[in-house]
Amino acid sequence: MKQINAVQLKEWLDEVKAGKRAPPVLLDVREPWEFDAARIPGAKLVPMRAIPARYMELQRDAEVVVICHHGARSYQVGLFLEHQGFDNVINLYGGMAAWSRDADPNTPTY
């Protein structure tokens, strides 16, 4: 599975804002309380436990960046999606903790 670090994702999202690149689907698989504490703008919350019932909501040909707190749950969800036939799944390495530390220090930590 492909992985992206927080700085690379921030650069990608900056390119989206500038009209230079298509946006990814930001799939946040944390729990609702985590999502309420900190999130990347535009992320869609689908808790990990709900993925088997809701993955059909995602377009198979979209670039999907999977997000969790540290990158482990998102990696597992990414593997699941790949097994369901998704070809463009990318794990946010280090998760929201890395995002807060490396890409957007204004994002709260928890």
Task: List the catalytic residues.
Answer: 68
Three-class secondary structure of residue 67 per DSSP: strand
Question: Scanning the structure block, which residue is given the tokens 């994702």?
Answer: 9
CA–centroid distance for 4 within its chain:
10
Contact assessment for residue 44 and residue 28, using Cβ atoms and an 8 Å cutoff = yes
Contact 75, 91 (CB under 8 A): yes
Instruction: Say how far apart CA 97 and CA 6 lie, in whole Å.
Output: 9
